[in-house]
Chains A and B, each alone.
Chain A
């Protein structure tokens, strides 16, 4: 009987040790963390304070004419590889026939615009849907990154640290919106940044700049007044795959229920 009790104390001590030694993982940080100079950082300098912003975009499907200038400008601005299958934003054409038949196409992401293809059948409804990273409030992609190379920045934009990315592609798998790709040369994950380098310089994202019909509305999600807030007050808004609870910051006006 006595022996058993002794044993159990040893076990307790053992677990205590394990527990304490686990804390050593945090040691290097507290030992090595230096004060980096915040005044040199665009995240928080006199021109741009990330803590003051929460960016979002709204897409008005009724206004999109499917010219694909957004997809083209995105490639220009962000040096996205020109060949198909690498897109940070792209445009899909939906054709809805009777009986739940939905045909979706996106030739080269819409970069070269759309063309009529010759079919006799008339769809019941047809329209264009521009897509991009939804910059979720609860992003599934950042959660699966094993090294902390993709993350939600202070202003809500989901970014990728290309020097830190190990190219494991987990995030590409995890994204429910198919918004990421592996760069064919650097072999790191890439995605829409809302043109972060433009935001910090007080410019709108390239896709918004070139949209001829103002189908893309960009701005603050949480300020009292911003183009986005005003638009959201006037229109009926939906998001893609709401059931996943990702809380996208890319909203859609006049969204058709067939859009996935």
Chain B
């Protein structure tokens, strides 16, 4: 055994000693540096999760406001803003909820706030109530006419464009610009108050468009015409022509 050891060349032994030192230093340094809780749950420090979990909350959540402002919550929950939570408008209010006398949330009384949601944008989904703030009762703050917690429009809107802004805009520059919405849609009066409960009708057949566009029809001179039986009979018209912006070329 000893003989064998002696037969190991000097340089190999030196290398081995260095290796041992490196390993020992590594073991000690690692033991010092790696936190105790590393690897308990996975390849990470368990304590990090606890640190992240104990960060401070800024938004209290609407259910917290209910404790003291149940009257406002009740008004709101029956109105159009029922899904708009308090802190959307009043900002993060966790501090206020804990010490209402020390911290007061702000209230957005200025006119530039509401358009964040209600300014007309073509990208917004159809049916969402939108206005063009430059022309919608300018200068006055929105809350002079609309109670923010229950924003019923003071009277029902006359026009479809109030809610179907994108369709109206597109139609107004299309070949169908001079057709009224009601030419093609039967709209119950209640639709403007409760649109989802009182749906408007939509054309259902090819013959509907044929009223104006079929060749045999002479009531509408100047209207481009097609042979209803021959022109793409397998489909309904609006599978190819968007009815609010019909294009033929």
User: Do these two chains really belong together in a complex?
Assistant: yes
Give A contacts to B, CB under 8 Å: 21, 24-25, 27-29, 31-34, 36, 40-43, 48, 50, 62-69, 73, 76-78, 93-95, 112-116, 122-123, 126-128, 148-154, 159, 161-164, 193, 196-198, 200-201, 203-204, 206, 209-210, 212-214
Stretch in B99-107, B117-125, B201-209, B228-236 touching the partner:
B117-125
**Contact partner, B124, options A29, A42, A66, A154, Cβ 8 Å:** A66
Q: Does B164 contact A (CB under 8 A)?
A: no
Using Cβ atoms and an 8 Å threshold, which residues of chain B touch A27?
Answer: 27
Which residues of the partner chain B approach A152 to less than 8 Å between Cβ atoms? 42
User: B55 near A197 (CB under 8 angstroms)?
Assistant: yes
B38 cross-chain contacts in A, Cβ below 8 A? 29, 148
Given A34-B36, A148-B38, A161 and B44 touching (CB < 8 A)? yes
Q: In the complex, how many angstroms separate the beta carbon of A23 from the nearest chain B beta carbon?
A: 11
Measured CA separation A128–B124 after assembly (Å): 8
Most buried by B among A31, A32, A128, A152: A32
B34 interface residue (CB < 8 Å to A): yes
Chain A residues contacting B46 (CB-CB under 8 Å) are 36, 41, 43
Q: Would A36 and B36 count as touching, CB distance under 8 A?
A: yes
Chain A CB within 8 A of B72 CB: no
Q: Which residue of A lies closest to B33 (CB)?
A: A28
How far is B39's CA from A65's CA once the two chains are assembled, in angstroms? 43
In angstroms, Cα B123 to Cα A127, docked, is: 5
Question: In the complex, what residue of chain B is closest to A31 when comparing beta carbons?
Answer: B31
- Cα A123 to Cα B245 with chains together (Å): 12
Q: How many Å lie between the Cα of A150 and that of B52 in the bound state?
A: 12
- Taking Cβ atoms with an 8 Å cutoff, the residues of B that contact A are 19, 23, 26-27, 30-31, 34, 36-59, 61-62, 81, 83-85, 87-88, 91-92, 115-117, 119-125, 128, 170
A202 and B248 CA atoms in complex are apart in Å by: 56
Chain A residue at minimal CB-CB distance from B169: A122
19 sampled A-B residue pairs with Cβ under 8 A: A28-B27, A29-B39, A36-B37, A42-B50, A43-B41, A43-B50, A112-B116, A114-B121, A116-B119, A116-B122, A126-B123, A128-B124, A148-B43, A150-B44, A153-B41, A164-B45, A164-B48, A197-B54, A197-B55
Q: B52 near A123 (CB under 8 angstroms)?
A: no
Query: Does B41 contact A114, Cβ atoms closer than 8 Å?
Result: no
CB contacts (< 8 Å) of B19 on chain A: these are 21
B225 nearest CB across to chain A (Å): 27
Complex Cα distance, B61 from A113, in Å, reads: 22
Q: Is the CB of A210 within 8 A of B48?
A: no
**Chain B residue at minimal CB-CB distance from A152:** B42
Q: How far is the CB of B133 from chain A (nearest CB, A)?
A: 11
Residue of B nearest to A124 (CB): B242
Q: Would you give the shortest CB distance from B239 to chain A, in whole angstroms?
A: 15
Asked if B36 contacts A32 (CB within 8 A), the reply is yes
* Complex Cα–Cα for A80 and B11 (A): 57
Contact A126 B45 (CB under 8 A): no
Which of B37, B51, B91 contacts A163, CB < 8 Å?
B51
Q: Tell me which of A128, A210, A213 contacts B59 (CB under 8 A).
A: A210
